[in-house]
Copies of this chain bind each other. A is one copy, B any other.
Amino acid sequence: MSQLQILDAYFAENREKHLEELSEFLRIPSISSLSEHKQNIQTAAEWLADELRELNIENVSVDQTAGHPVVYGEWLHAEGKPTILFYGHYDVQPVDPLHLWESEPFNPVIRDNKLFARGASDDKGQVFMHLKMIEALFATEGTLPVNVKFIYEGEEEIGSPNLPAYVEEHKTKLAADLILISDTGLYAPGKPAVCYGLRGLTGVQIDVRGAKGDLHSGLYGGGVQNAIHALADILASFRDEHGTIQVEGFYDKVLPLSEEERQAYRELNFDEAALKQEIEVIELFGEEGFSYLEQTWARPTLEINGVFGGFSGEGIKTVLPAEAGAKITCRLVPDQDPNEIVELLKAHIDKHKPKGVEVTVSEFDKGAPFLTPFDHPLIQAAGRSYERIYNVPTAFTRGGGSIPIVAAFDEILSLPVVLMGFGLNSENFHAPNEHFHLENFDKGLRVLGDYLYEVSNLKF
């Protein structure tokens, strides 16, 4: 029997027990955003720590932070072998509106080979897979092919406010060769994905001020600058009609897509017609010269998130508005630097400032983009592990959004990040009736086991 066959047999034999254990974990209502669940968060952390201890994981601790605790553990006896740092989170989203749940959010039930419960997919189910994969390896081989460390947080759903400081403080303890995160999803049912990049974020608010107050558009109109018109001029200047951002230097540090990456995206045969139907737009629109996937995964954006000024009630008020404002965020890609981009935005706004108004620009929080190169051996190995179990080519994807903690890991620990997730977009994370397709639970356990062997034998 191959190692994979041995693992397979173990998982099959223990499936019912594993699902019962997972259900126990899911029964703990560890909602991080609601203070009345503080004790449940603590209970979930201790449940995890106990699990790690049962698996022979060493130096297990529940480390208090300014918020909810971080659970840590390690096993470092695979001499000469790489070290994988596993990350996940044991906190969950709130459950309201409760009446839309078909079964109780904290009373897991299996229907149609799907496990329904808050956290089933995001992220307790996926964290649990790390543990059971370790259990299986110990049970079948008596050892692990690599060194492992675990860091599980209880604040992901509230923006990980305390994790960066924790990681910074425990930099040495957390040193590893890669960080493996299971908190994302497959590309589509039956089609696994390795996400090797995420966009960063930066943003500004633009405030335009004209006269000391709104003026009568009859008395002053035509002779005094209109704050909204001035703002519209600035906003329109950011982009040309081809969707190309006109901020000088904006694209200078953007890593071009390699032909291999573009080819990999093309092979996904992304269904634009289905997307149009889903979001109900008459046509898609983005930067000319790039496909939809390229636009949303590998190209930076400048998005106006909000605009306000003057009278917005019903009917008409013939005011010449004195103030107007807009909120703007840019999704960034490697190697754009959020701080540099903000400076470019400011210079652009300054250059395009219309007459007769004052313009102030204030900055929002920033997050760096992240990319583990497409051709990195750890990325390609992850693809092979998926492919071996799912029997279809792995999709190599990037995420258009940001996972702030990924960027933080990338920045603080300077490790290759490998995102191996097993969820599906249809699984209602953050919504009623969250569930986890157990087919991906079963396959994912095997993918993770296989990946540990892959990493064990890799030169990188």
Q: Which residues of A contact B (CB under 8 A)?
A: 199, 201, 203, 205, 210-212, 215-226, 228-229, 231-233, 235-239, 241, 279-287, 292, 295-296, 299-301, 303-313, 315-321, 324-327, 329, 331, 354-358, 364-365, 399-402
Contacts and interface: CB of A to CB of B under 8 A. Distances in A.
Nearest to A300: B222
A219 B401 contact: yes
| Copy total for this chain | 2
Given A279-B224, A312-B327, A331-B221, A401 B355 contact: no
B296 A221 contact: yes
A54 to B, nearest CB: 38
B232 A281 contact: no
Contacts of A307: 228, 231-232, 307-310, 312, 324
Contact of A221 (B233, B301, B358): B301
12 contacts: A217-B329, A222-B287, A222-B296, A225-B285, A226-B303, A232-B307, A233-B236, A233-B241, A236-B236, A303-B320, A305-B321, A306-B312
Contacts of A319: 305-306
A10 to B, nearest CB: 37
A76 B257 CA distance: 89
B218 A400 contact: yes
Nearest to A272: B223
A355 B285 contact: yes
A306 B317 contact: yes
Contacts of A296: 219-223
> Which of A221, A282, A321, A400 has most B Cβ within 10 Å?
A221
Contacts of A399: 218
A218 B203 CA distance: 13
Given A215-B279, A221-B301, A223-B284, 8 more contacts: A217-B331, A219-B296, A220-B279, A232-B232, A241-B354, A281-B357, A305-B317, A316-B327
Contact of A279 (B211, B329, B365, B402): B211
